[in-house]
C-alpha cells in the first residue's frame, strides 16, 4: 500500500504525422493522387502553413487520421471516471474485478489535502482502515468484484487510452482549463507534453479552450480571459 505518482507515456504514434495531415488537407484541393502529394510533400514550414489554415477554418477531419496511444499509470479512479466521459477515446483499464489489491490499496492523495500534514494523516488513516477491511473481505472469500465496493475514489488505477489528434485537442481545450480538477489537468498536460516533445507545432492547439478561441465560456470564469457574454454584448 503506497501513495503513487502519475506516469504518462506515449507508446504509439504514426511515423509521419505532419506529412499525413498535409496529404489529407491537400487531397481535398488537388487533382494529384494522394500518394503523389505524400511523396512530393514540401519542407515542414510549407506543410505547416497549409495545415494551420485548414485547422483554423474548422476542417477537423484532416487531423482525425492521427491516432495516439498513451499508457497512463497511477491516476485515481476519480480522475479516470472523468476521462472515460470522453466518448471518442478507446480505453483498456485495470479491472477491480480481476485484480486483487494484495498488500493494501495504492492511492492518490489530492494535492490540496497533501499540503496539510494533519489532513494528509487523516486521509492515510482512512485508506489504511479501508485496506484492512478490503483484505478482511477477500480473506473471507468475498470475490474482488464485490470487495471493491468499499474502495475509495482515491484508489490508484492504470489504463491505456487511444484517441485521435482531434479528440486530444478537444480534451486539452476542456481539461487544461482551470475549471477542471487539478489531477485530470496534470494528467492531460502530461499527455500533451508527450506529444509536443516531437510535434512542437501542436503547442498552439494543446491549450485551454480560452487560449485557443480567445474568450471564456465558463460561468465561473478564472477571469484571465474576456467572457463570451462580454464579447457578444460588444457586437450588439
Ligand atoms: C470543467 C468540467 C466540469 C464538468 N462537470 C461535470 C458535471 O458536473 N457533471 C457531469 O456529468 N459532467 C461534467 N463534466 C463532463 C462534461 O459534461 C462532458 O461529459 C465531458 O467533458 C466530455 O466532453 P464532450 O462531450 O465535449 O467530449 P467527447 O465525449 O470527447 O466528445 C467530443 C465531441 O464530440 C461530439 N459528440 C460526442 N458524442 C456526441 C453525441 N452523442 N451527440 C452529439 N455530439 C457528440 C460533441 O461535439 C463533443 O463535444 C465536466 C467537464 C468539465 C471539463
Closest CA to 146 of 100, 188, 110: 100
Continuous H helices in 116-208: 117-139, 144-147, 165-175, 182-196
The one catalytic residue in 175, 179, 212, 235 is: 175
Residues 6+ apart with CB under 8 A from 199: 17, 18
pLDDT of residue 184: 98
Ligand 1 mutation pick, 170, 175, 187, max ligand atoms within 8 A of CB = 170
236 pLDDT exceeds 70? Answer: no
Mean pLDDT, the chain, as a whole number?
A: 95
> Does the beta carbon of 220 sit less than 6 angstroms from any atom of ligand 1?
no
Q: Evaluate if pTM is beyond 0.75.
A: yes
CATH no. for 8-71+157-235: 3.30.1360
State how far the Cα of 211 lies from the Cα of 234, in Å rounded to an integer. Answer: 20
Percent of the chain with pLDDT over 90: 86
83 CA → ligand 1 middle, Å: 10
The partner residues of 3 in beta bridges, in order of sequence, read 107
**Catalytic residue list contains 179:** no
- The C-alpha cell at 188 is 492531460
Amino acid at each position: 500500500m503506497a501513495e503513487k505518482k502519475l506516469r504518462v507515456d506515449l507508446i504509439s504514434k504514426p511515423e509521419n504525422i505532419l506529412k499525413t495531415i498535409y496529404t489529407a488537407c491537400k487531397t481535398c484541393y488537388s487533382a494529384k493522387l494522394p500518394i503523389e502529394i505524400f511523396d512530393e510533400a514540401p519542407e515542414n514550414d510549407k506543410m505547416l502553413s497549409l495545415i494551420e489554415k485548414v485547422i483554423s477554418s474548422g476542417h477537423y477531419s484532416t487531423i482525425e487520421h492521427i491516432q495516439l496511444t498513451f499508457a497512463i499509470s497511477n491516476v485515481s479512479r476519480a480522475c479516470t471516471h472523468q476521462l472515460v466521459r470522453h466518448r471518442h477515446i478507446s480505453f483498456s483499464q485495470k479491472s477491480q474485478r480481476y485484480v486483487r489489491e494484495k498488500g493494501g490499496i495504492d492511492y492518490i492523495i489530492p494535492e490540496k489535502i497533501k499540503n496539510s500534514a494533519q489532513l494528509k494523516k487523516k486521509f492515510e488513516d482512512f485508506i489504511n482502515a479501508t485496506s484492512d477491511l478490503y483484505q478482511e473481505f477477500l480473506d473471507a472469500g468475498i470475490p474482488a468484484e464485490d470487495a471493491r465496493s468499499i474502495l475509495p475514489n482515491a484508489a490508484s488505477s492504470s489504463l491505456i487510452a487511444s484517441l485521435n489528434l482531434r479528440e486530444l485537442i478537444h480534451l486539452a481545450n476542456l481539461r487544461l482549463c482551470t475549471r477542471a480538477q487539478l489531477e485530470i489537468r496534470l494528467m492531460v498536460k502530461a499527455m500533451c507534453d508527450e506529444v509536443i516533445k516531437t510535434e512542437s507545432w501542436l503547442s498552439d492547439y494543446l491549450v485551454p479552450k480560452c487560449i485557443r478561441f480567445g474568450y471564456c465560456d465558463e460561468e465561473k470564469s478564472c477571469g484571465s480571459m474576456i467572457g463570451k457574454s462580454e464579447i457578444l454584448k460588444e457586437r450588439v
